Amino acid sequence: MSEPSKPQGRKFQLPEHLKVYKDVWVIVEQERGQVHSVSLELLGEARKLADKLGVAVGAVVLGEAGPDLERICGDAFAYGADVVYRVADPVLKDYRTDPYCRVMTDVVNAYKPEIVLLGATTLGRDLAGAIATTLATGLTADCTELDIYMENRSLAATRPTFGGTLLCTIQTLAYRPQMATVRPRVMAMPERDDSRTGRVVDVFPALAEDSVITKVLSFIADRERNEAQLAFADIIVSGGKGLGKPENLKLVFDLAAVLGGEVGVTRPLIQAGWATADRQVGQTGKTVRPKLYIAAGISGAIQHRVGMEKSDLILAINTDKNAPIFDFAHLGIVGDALKILPALTDAFSRRLSVNRLAS
């Protein structure tokens, strides 16, 4: 990572009263006892930033008191936190903007972190936008890279703009805390270290359910709705317009089934109604980071690319040897996906069944 460049054109001295802001925080996102993996990725990232600054990593864990919350606090230490701010209250059981925003505003004002990170998820982006307003500070959304500009200890947050055609680095110079949301699956997941522990700070918010106007009537989990779980798949086989006809998407499903992977698609396929929106990979779909991404009949437009280029290994199949996807795929086959896909399905199933006999 190169040293971020000096911010240009503006005064970047931090006012004296803001110099007491210290530490790098992650707001740990949990829903019904499940921690969103981006929060753990962010703890790893926060660790790096805090080490550079010589400060501590704080994790804010909000929710209803109980074993889930305890477990999550433990997770936070294991993934890199030095201090956990534990905010337990029945009102915080389900996410709602208003109580979360009120609590977070108070906690930040009380403990004064210099950096606050959240996942760029539906929760993170909803909450970050609200608290950056109550705190009247800068917020950089949907970042893909974070660094510290040492000369004034400012956070250099880099993010795609104009649909990924450009990147820009944004800094919050004379305000604290500096806030950023970060795309899931962009930062590497740190190694879990169960030997790590730290200090727990209990926060007792003054919340009353009566004061919260928005009520959660029910929650319909995706698990019960049979939606594709693309974001966490280890193997993804994706199809694009090059497949020609909706029927041919079956070839993609066949290969994914043999590999035990998920199926992704490009946006035009969603628009044409070949697949449901939960399978879209890209800027306006899911960001994925599987171990293997097979792209069949996909040109590699920037909006698709930003959603999958962090995959460990990308194999692209395209008839056009000049297709942009070959600029960033690791392996390429110049050929007809309609022929290659079934052949791959065969080849993999043979390889895997041979092994089964042997073992």
Partner 1 sequence: MHIVVCIKQVPDSAQIRIHPVTNTIMRQGVPAIINPYDLFSLEEALRIKDRTGARVTVLTMGPPMAENSLRKALSFGADAAVLLTDRKFAGSDTLATSYALTSAIRKLAEEEPVDIVFCGKQTVDGDTAQVGPGIATRLGLQQLTYISSIDSVDTQAREIVVHRRSEGGVQVLKTALPCMITMLEGTNSIRFGSMDDMFRAARTPLRVWSKDDAAADETKVGLKGSPTVVSKVFVPKPKAEKAKFIEAEGGTADAFAAAAVEAIFAAQPKLSTDLLARAAQG
Ligand X SMILES: Cc1cc2nc3c(=O)[nH]c(=O)nc-3n(C[C@H](O)[C@H](O)[C@H](O)COP(=O)(O)OP(=O)(O)OC[C@H]3O[C@@H](n4cnc5c(N)ncnc54)[C@H](O)[C@@H]3O)c2cc1C
Least separation in angstroms between residue 245's CB and ligand X is 10
338 binds ligand X (CB under 6 A): yes
CA distance 348 to 354: 10
- Return the closest-CA partner of residue 96 out of 219, 215, 220: 215
Amino acid identity, residue 220?
Answer: I
Query: Measured from the CB atom, is 154 or 299 closer to ligand X?
Result: 299
Nearest distance from C-beta of residue 336 to ligand X, angstroms: 4
N-term to C-term CA, the chain: 44
Among 80, 242, 261, 290, binds ligand X (CB under 6 A): 242
Which of ligand X, partner 1, none does 319 bind, CB closer than 5 to 8 A by kind?
ligand X
The answer to whether 103 and 207 are in contact (CB under 8 A) is yes
Minimal distance in Å, beta carbon 276 to ligand X? 14
Closest distance of CB 192 from partner 1, Å: 18
The binder of 245, among partner 1, ligand X, none, by C-beta within 5 to 8 A per type, is none
71 binds, among partner 1, ligand X, none (CB under 5 to 8 A by kind): none
Taking the alpha carbons of 80, 86, 87, 90 in that order, is the dihedral positive or negative? positive
Q: How many CB atoms lie within 10 A of CB 149?
A: 18
d(CA 281, CA 304): 6
**Smallest distance from the beta carbon of 39 to ligand X, in angstroms?**
23
Q: For ligand X, give the closer residue by CB, 192 or 339.
A: 339
Q: What angle do CA 176, 36, 101 make, to 5 degrees?
A: 40
Measured CA distances, 287 to 66, 131, 225, 227, 233 (Å): 32, 25, 20, 16, 11
Report the residue number, 32 or 339, with the smaller CB distance to ligand X. 339
Compare residues 167 and 221 and give the one whose CB is closer to ligand X.
167
Q: Which two tokens stand for residue 187?
A: 């930062």
Provide, rounded to whole angstroms, the least separation between the CB of residue 204 and ligand X.
43
Residue 86 Cβ vs partner 1, minimum distance, rounded to whole Å: 21
Asked if 328 and 314 touch (Cβ cutoff 8 Å), the reply is yes
Q: With respect to ligand X, which residue has the nearer C-beta, 140 or 266?
A: 266
Residues 148-167 that bind ligand X (CB under 6 A): 163
Applying the rule CB under 6 A, the residues between 265 and 324 that interact with ligand X are 266-268, 280-285, 297-299, 301, 303-304, 307, 317-320, 323
- Residues whose CB is less than 8 angstroms from the CB of residue 224 and which lie 6 or more positions away in sequence, other chains included: none
| Spatial distance between the Cα atoms of 146 and 93, rounded to a whole number of angstroms | 31
97 binds, options ligand X, partner 1, none, Cβ within 5 to 8 A by partner type: partner 1
Pattern 222-241, ligand X, x by CB under 6 A = ------------------xx
Residue 330 CA to residue 318 CA, distance in Å, equals: 13
Contacts of 132 (CB under 8 A, 6+ apart): 138, 139, 179
Cα atoms found within 13 Å of the Cα of residue 110, Cβ hemisphere only = 13
The distance of closest approach from Cβ of residue 56 to partner 1 in the complex, given in angstroms and rounded to an integer, is 24
Contact residues for ligand X (CB under 6 A)?
163, 240-242, 266-268, 280-285, 297-299, 301, 303-304, 307, 317-320, 323, 336-338
